Amino acid sequence: MKKYIILASIIFSFGCSSNAANNNILEIKGGIHMKGFSRNIYLGIEDSKTGTIYRIQNPKKFNLNNRQNETVKIKAKLLKKVVGPGFPAVIEVLEVKN
What are 41-51's pLDDT values in tens digits?
999 999 999 99
Per DSSP, the three-state class of 81 is coil
What are 63-94's pLDDT values in tens digits?
999 999 999 999 999 999 998 888 899 999 99
At residue 87, the pLDDT reads 87
For domain 26-97, say whether CATH 3.40.50.1360 is its number: no
Q: Where are the domains of the chain?
A: 26-97
DSSP 42-55: EEEEEETTT--EEE
The pLDDT of residue 12 is above 60: no
Between CA 25 and CA 44 the distance in angstroms is 17
| pTM as predicted | 0.73
> What band does 4 get if pLDDT is binned at 50, 70 and 90?
low
Left (φ > 0), alpha (ψ -120 to 50) or beta: where does 33 sit? beta
At residue 42, the pLDDT reads 93
